[in-house]
Amino acid sequence: METVTHSSPFDSFLDRMRNPASLDLVRSIKSFIVSFSYTASNPETDGKRIQEFFQTMEDAIRDHPLWASSSDDETDNALEGLEKYVMTKLHSRTFASTPEDVKIDAEISEKISLLQTFLRPQHLDIPSALQNEAAWLLAEKELKKINAFKAPRDKLLCIINCSRVINNLLLNASISEDHVPGGADDFLPVLIYVTIKANPPQLHSNLKFIQLYRRQSKLVSEAAYYLTNLVSAKSFILDLNAKSLSIEESEFMESMEAARLVNRVPQETVTTIDNRSKFGKLMDPGPSTLLHVKTQTNINGGSNYPYMEAEAGELTVGDVERLLSLYKDVVTKYTSLCNTVRHLSVSRTQRHDESLREPNGTHKDTCSKETEKRS
């Protein structure tokens, strides 16, 4: 559906460009693309150069005989086609083009993946009337599509569609739940939460790309507003600490630490023994697929545990020291994993319970026991 609305004006743009009468335009476009491709990336001036080119071409198209009798909409379609054509051709040269952009993208994505393990709507004080998993999922889906497109307009549309889903949720909540409309007080926290759940690819680079290369005359009004909100969400997430959320500082630190550990375990080689004291007593997590997978990875990792294939008769007294240290290592990792897995599953069940609005005694119990054990 999306492709139809996107591609038909673009096809008509390409058609007109195939018309011999537009040869002069085609030449300008091609020569610009070539000359731009041959200059080194410069984040300071790239945006300006391309915007100036769009402006020059806009004037040329408006004055062109081929568009002489065109309506404003048709001319605008041509300009959208131009943006799409040029930016698709120059995508690899302009998108995430500096090492710094790549670094920020990785930093955001990593931070979000940590937050995903424990962040709940309550941490952003999102009212229960706005907690709607189905709507959030739709909004996340829109945001995740952002890398499926190369043109700034199409990327921006993903953001706008995501925002519309959220607006629609706010609208429904104000009607059916009798929730007093809170405008941006409601919108921004939901957008931030959805962004964290979605972890959209290359968030920073996508936003920068739209800001630099979307035709400036189109970066106004509603589109600019929703773009600004996502920029704002990105900035909030980058700077996010315990004080940004309704959460105890200690709980925040612990959850972030646990999340880091989960992310790290598969690559881990030796010794986390020093961390041993940070985690509670050994407890049985019960069967858990997550745990199973991680253990498998480590065993298959081979050389970390050289005694796996050994027989009792082959061991010597000299092996004891090494065996003991490996044993401690394994126990420490196992304990940490148990804690993390427990924490994750508790968070999930809790969220589930809350969305059903059925406070569940057993889980609350587990949760408070867990807190006791930790402290």
- Written as six digits, the tokens of 114 are 């940590």
Closest approach, Cβ 80 to another protein, in A, equals: 8
Amino acid identity at 285: P
Interacting residues toward another protein by CB under 8 A: 1-2, 72-73, 76, 80, 125, 138-139, 141-142, 153, 156-157, 160-162, 164-165, 167-168, 170-171, 173-175, 180-189, 217-218, 220-223, 225-226, 228-229, 231-232, 235-236, 239, 243-245
Q: Which of 176, 68, 170, 186 is nearest to 125 (CA)?
A: 186
CA–CA separation, 262 and 247 (whole Å): 21
Q: Maximum Cα–Cα distance for the chain, whole Å?
A: 94
The burial of 150, by beta-carbon neighbours within 10 Å (0-12 exposed, 13-18 middle, 19 or more buried), is given as middle
| 227, 306 contact by CB (below 8 A) | no
Tell me whether residue 220 or residue 270 sits nearer to another protein (CB atom): 220
Closest approach, Cβ 86 to another protein, in A, equals: 18
Closest approach, Cβ 137 to another protein, in A, equals: 10
Residue 312 CB-half CA count within 13 A: 0
Closest approach, Cβ 60 to another protein, in A, equals: 19
Tell me whether residue 109 or residue 232 sits nearer to another protein (CB atom): 232
Tell me whether residue 236 or residue 305 sits nearer to another protein (CB atom): 236
Tell me whether residue 1 or residue 356 sits nearer to another protein (CB atom): 1
CA–CA separation, 198 and 112 (whole Å): 9
Closest approach, Cβ 14 to another protein, in A, equals: 19
Amino acid identity at 172: N
Tell me whether residue 32 or residue 118 sits nearer to another protein (CB atom): 118
Q: Which of 255, 243, 276 is nearest to 371 (CA)?
A: 255
Radius of gyration of the chain, Cα coordinates, nearest whole angstrom:
27
Closest approach, Cβ 115 to another protein, in A, equals: 15
Tell me whether residue 139 or residue 338 sits nearer to another protein (CB atom): 139
